Amino acid sequence: MTPKKQRRLAFAITLLLAGGGAAALAVYALQDNILFFYSPSDIAAHPEKVPEGRAFRIGGLVEKGSVKRDRGLEVHFVVTDGKNAVPVDYSGVLPDLFREGQGVVAMGTRSNSGVFLAREVLAKHDEKYMPPEVVDALKRSGHWQEGQGGPGSS
């Protein structure tokens, strides 16, 4: 092999190793770090899908009249998709746009009593906005009203 070919080969091998390494790292990291989204009806239909302790995201509407604030930091509310509902416990400051009757997405785990322990509550858009997962969940549960506001209306 000429030195030039040698260099090319070395370059190609480095490139392959770097690319392969990055791809392996990416696949490995993806396995552990993806979060699934479930609606309250998904959880009711397949409770076995959401094992305790594994983090996932839940979404729906904040049920009207369900928000209870303690004297401390704890907040309790119910997420519903019209058919099924899941109680949620959260400790901390709720986002500015969190309101009853509005779409919400929460990230956390489910306790053995069926309460969703939220680590993070997202409701970061304007009042016309509805998270796409929530729109989808409401459509599937048959409680979606056209013109209710969703992607496209804001």
Residues forming the site for other proteins (CB under 8 A): 3-4, 7, 10-11, 14-15, 18-19, 21-22, 25-26, 28-30, 32-37, 57, 69, 71-73, 92-94, 96-97, 124-127, 129, 131-133, 136, 151-152, 154
Cβ closer to other proteins: 3 or 112? 3
Residues forming a β-bridge with 91: 74
State in angstroms the smallest separation of the CB of 40 from other proteins.
14
Residues forming a β-bridge with 109: 117
Cβ closer to other proteins: 103 or 112? 103
The β-bridge relationship of strands 56-62 and 74-80 is antiparallel
Q: Backbone dihedral region of 33: left (phi > 0), alpha (psi from -120 to 50 degrees) or beta? A: alpha
State in angstroms the smallest separation of the CB of 70 from other proteins.
8
The three-class DSSP label of residue 118 is strand
